[in-house]
Amino acid sequence: MNLRIGIVGLPNAGKSTLFNALLKKQAALAANYPFATIDPNIGIVQVPDERLKVLAEIVKTNKIVPATVEFVDIAGLVRGAHSGEGLGNKFLSHIRETSAICYVLRFFKDPEVIHVSDRVDPKEDLAILNEELILADLQTLENQKEPKKNAGKEDQLRWQLVNTLKRHLNNNQPAREIKLDEEELELIKSLNLLTLKPAIYVANLDEDQLSQSREVLADFSLKPVIALSAKIESELIDVKETERREFLQSVGIDEPVLNKLAKISYDTLGLMSFLTAGTLEARAWTIPKNTPAVTAAGVIHTDFSQKFIKAEIVTFADFVNSGGWTNSRLQGKVRQEGRDYLMQEGDVVEFKIGA
């Protein structure tokens, strides 16, 4: 499945700088003035997974295929964005198809970098962002038409949900905070409501704030939140990996931003990875947690679900300790699982498919 993260924030919050750090290249214009980003920046990056290198060595393949995540960096939003202020209305459409929204909040103070409101107040910035996304969703809901009297039960229920959502949004409550069951979520899925998407928060700090990030974020209660310095991360783009890690650790960062964001995105969206390892490639596949084996097989190829016979599964640790498929089988570490088996994080699998 495709993991797509939309990056939003006020102008000069550090969105494009973060985007460049994630892609490890200067892909987006990061300038000291509002609306430097006009067209959305889109980039696909590999999700770091050290397990794949280990698997590749064991099965003697040179091809490693990590899972990927796509980032979409849109123009900075300002108050009134939902109605077109500051170019925002057009670009909100670019994050409607994303899996989650990453809110970049400016905590750093730098007189050389203009703030659109001439102040640094991340809580107020977040309030503006939430307000604009809520108003954009209300516009979507207002465009829905009441079903005719002879409409089916499903259409009637969908209309009830539209009105329920309107009430909550008008009370400044994002759609993600409303308790909806799976059936209800499916009924409104096509609306692509922005405030229904899971939220991830990035606190963009300066170097001095990083060393005391816990204190800086003490009053910020929303979770999950990642503390980082987009400026520092982007300045280290061309630095060797070992040197980059050493410097980040020296300023209190235990791992690069992409690693953190990937892990939190997976947790927030309830995702996991299973692994395949053969002479052709070592590969990670992204699926929702509690995915049955027959469905996971279909992620590799749709025919695999239709012709599924069984899954041969070994844990990553057992696969490594045994030295590959042959010894894992000889040592009894490989399990035969049926179509209803729920895949687990790090399962190494071979699907057996019929003709």
Token pair of 48, please?
A: 């770091």
Q: How many domains does the chain have?
A: 1
Task: Output the pLDDT for position 278.
Answer: 96
131-178 pLDDT, tens per residue? 989 999 999 999 999 998 888 999 999 999 999 999 999 999 999 999
Q: Per the domain annotation, does 327 fall within a domain? A: yes
- Give the sheet arrangement for strand 308-314, strand by strand: 64-65, 282-288, 271-277, 348-353, 308-314, 335-337
Binding residues for ATP: 12-17
User: Whole-angstrom Cα distance, residue 86 to residue 33?
Assistant: 12
Domain encompassing residue 301: 290-353
Mean pLDDT of 55-67: 96
The gap from C-alpha 105 to its chain's centroid, in whole angstroms, comes to 17
* Distance linking the first and last C-alpha atoms of the chain: 25
Q: Per the domain annotation, does 333 fall within a domain? A: yes
Q: Per the domain annotation, does 14 fall within a domain? A: no
User: Whole-angstrom Cα distance, residue 97 to residue 90?
Assistant: 14
Q: Is the pLDDT of residue 37 over 60?
A: no
Q: Per the domain annotation, does 279 fall within a domain? A: no
Q: Per the domain annotation, does 266 fall within a domain? A: no
197-206 pLDDT, tens per residue? 999 999 999 9
Q: Is the pLDDT of residue 31 over 60?
A: no
Q: Per the domain annotation, does 227 fall within a domain? A: no
Average pLDDT, whole number, for the chain? 88
Binding residues: 12-17
Mean pLDDT of 280-292: 96
Q: What is the CATH number of the domain that holds 334?
A: 3.10.20.30
Angle at which helices 15-23 and 257-269 pack, to 10 degrees? 100
The gap from C-alpha 306 to its chain's centroid, in whole angstroms, comes to 30
Q: Per the domain annotation, does 335 fall within a domain? A: yes
Task: Output the pLDDT for position 34.
Answer: 39
Whether residue 226 contacts residue 260, with contact meaning beta carbons closer than 8 Å, is answered with yes
Q: What is the pTM of this model?
A: 0.87
